[in-house]
A and B are shown apart, each in its own frame.
Chain A
Amino acid sequence: MAHRARPQDPATDEALLAVMGATCSSLSPERAQRLLAFHRALLATGAEALVAVDSVGPSSALQQLMFCSEPGVLSAAKLLHTFPLMPLAEAVSRVYPLEAMYAVRDVGVRAKLEALLSGLAEDAAAGDAAYVVSQSVQMDSDPQHPSIRLEFTPSATAAASGGGGVPRLPSPLEEGSAMQEHHMKLLTEMLQSHAIGIRDQS
């Protein structure tokens, strides 16, 4: 029997919301909806670009338009669940790094994407905390699968995989240390993403 190609539609909002409900219980429905709205708007922009290619001719810049995939949306949702004060735009920037994308040097593409991302802006009260990692502690756990506890300020704690060595956070204030404030901010962001793990049971 010959293999056949079949179209695969994107997951419905209901399906994605159900997964978010199971894995990201502390994410508010309003923030979940806004994440999904961004995802849908990006897909619609891509679909418009394809129509434009068919009718007017190829637009290489828009062909390079990149998408925030469904796992990407779920991953941003998991970040917001673990770090409830994280701004929506910051969570999205981890999975959709606009500033690093070469295609956005095209002025038209950039304008479209910035307009979509501006929809993620929210009241300061909803999420404006700059988390800082405060502690990394080895946990008593299965020696075959070592884990650590990461603590952040303002209050957020997460258990994460560790390598088995004694975790040690750098101090930007140590004499002779090359670790500066912006390095510490970056390290905090990386540890936040590490803290959400890789897989969840829904």
Chain B
Amino acid sequence: MIVRTGKDLCLIGERGAGKSFVARHFARATGYAPVETVFIYSDMTARDLLQRRTTGEDKETLWQPTPLTRAAVSGRLCVLDGIQRLPTGAISALLRLVEDRELTLFDGTRYVRPERYAAMRTELGMSEEELTAKQIFPVHPGFRILALATPPTGEAPWLTNEMLHLFHFFRLSIDLTSEEGREHSTALLQAVVPGLPAEVPHALATFAAAMGNMEADQSNTVSASVSLRLMLRAARRAAIYPTDFYEIVAAGIM
């Protein structure tokens, strides 16, 4: 009996907390770089996720594989960026691929898990050519998914029972408003941006913390969070064009 003991991975963290950075290092550490990336959007359909329909020069229908399908076929790592935005209809298309490693595409092509493909050959006595003629192919055993998501909220409670059993979950949680968070972002800016004026990292970290506190204030209607990504952008600009702090924030963040 085949038992699904392992799972694909899902990294949860606030916007700009460094999820893509960690994902890049995971891909490098496993030799999967470069990866296939799918940026999820809220009205994405199963077609957008698996196989897109286009029209050829002779007005004929052409089906094009998406990065997710390419990764499944070639054994690469697919990063699903923003899985919290995936609509219910597309989740059901994803379920079968994640859980069973199987896929039926819109042009009739079927991808089955490698063990099942091998069983078709041995138990049914079908040759590779016969299976190819029937448009049946194996999903590559090296195929993996790394999903990136922001934490679930009341408006987007995406972490449902359905999603819970698809992945192993990891939390990247840095509270930029805390003392530890400020120290962390100051140290990161100093390490990553050479030539940064000495006072800028701490000033940027303090500014980000103040903005974070402002956003936490329920009475404030302005979205004011400053992510690590924005701080890095401002710091890199400040290293090239050292100027006063107002200018650094205005040009690099606002």
Binding site for B on A (CB under 8 A): 19, 22-24, 64, 66-69, 71-72, 74-75, 77-78, 93-97, 99-103, 133, 136, 138, 145-146, 148, 160-170, 175-180, 182-183, 186-187, 189-191, 193-194, 196-202
Contacts and interface: CB of A to CB of B under 8 A. Distances in A.
A71 B188 CA distance: 39
A12 to B, nearest CB: 15
Nearest to A163: B32
Q: How large is the interface on B (under 10, 10 to 19, 20 to 34, 35 or more residues)?
A: 35 or more
A2 to B, nearest CB: 24
A69 B76 contact: no
B3 A74 contact: yes
Contact of B30 (A68, A69, A186, A194): A194
A186 B22 contact: yes
B25 interface: yes
Contact of A19 (B3, B115, B170): B3
25 contacts: A23-B3, A64-B157, A71-B7, A74-B3, A74-B4, A95-B7, A95-B169, A101-B152, A102-B157, A146-B31, A146-B142, A163-B30, A165-B32, A167-B30, A178-B191, A180-B184, A186-B22, A186-B172, A187-B25, A187-B26, A190-B9, A190-B26, A198-B6, A198-B8, A201-B1
Contacts of A66: 159-161, 164
Nearest to A169: B29
Closest 6 A/B residue pairs (Cβ): A163-B32, A97-B169, A102-B152, A165-B31, A78-B5, A162-B31
Contacts of B29: 133, 136, 167-170, 187, 191
Contacts of A170: 25, 28-29
